Structures are given as C-alpha cells and as structure tokens.
A = this chain, B = another copy of it.
Amino acid sequence: MSHTVRDKKMLLTRLKKIQGQSTALEKMLNSDHECADVLQQLAAIRGAVNGMMMQVIEGHLTDHVVKEPEEAQREADLGVVLQVIKSYLK
C-alpha cells in the first residue's frame, strides 16, 4: 500500500486545514481587513503546505526507497522526489 494511501486520513486532515485557511483568507479579502493580516494568513497557508509536503517527501523516501528491496526501483523512486527537493534548494 502506498504511503499516501496509508496516510490518507492524516493528509486529508492537513489539506482540510489548508482549505479552511484559504476560505478564511477569501472572507478577509471580501471584507474590511488589514493587509498585515493577509500577509499573516498567507504565511500560515505556506507553512501548512510545506508541512504537508515534508510529510509526503518523508513517506515517499521511507516507503519507496528505504523499504524497497530492489536497488533499481529504489533509484527510480528517488528520482521522483529529488526534483521536488531541488525546487526548494534553488
């Protein structure tokens, strides 16, 4: 079973949080607000997205690389995650 299936409940809970934060930001923009609050809300969404990303990266490296018995498959599965990690290290 893939980690994103096994961890589906946790991932959906994280996603619900991001969706809730986005809805709150939408309400904020549609009513009187301080732009400092918009900045803060966006920073909260960014933090939640990064947290979810880290969980998926860690799950992928653990399930599809560490626990994968075949070296060739480990190598292929590592390639998937390296692109995402590179995008953070630009």
Which chain A residues have a beta carbon within 8 Å of chain B's beta carbons?
2-4, 8, 11-12, 15, 18-19, 22-23, 25-26, 29-30, 33, 35-36, 38-40, 42-43, 45-47, 49-54, 56-62, 64-67, 69, 71, 74-75, 78, 80-82, 84-90
Interface of A, secondary structure class, is helix
Closest to A59 in B: B35
Q: How many protomers of this protein does the assembly include?
A: 4
Given A65-B66, A78-B62, do A42 and B53 touch, yes or no (CB 8 Å)? yes
Give the Cβ gap from A80 to chain B, nearest Cβ, in Å: 4
Give the Cβ gap from A90 to chain B, nearest Cβ, in Å: 6
Are B78 and A64 closer than 8 Å at their CB atoms?
no
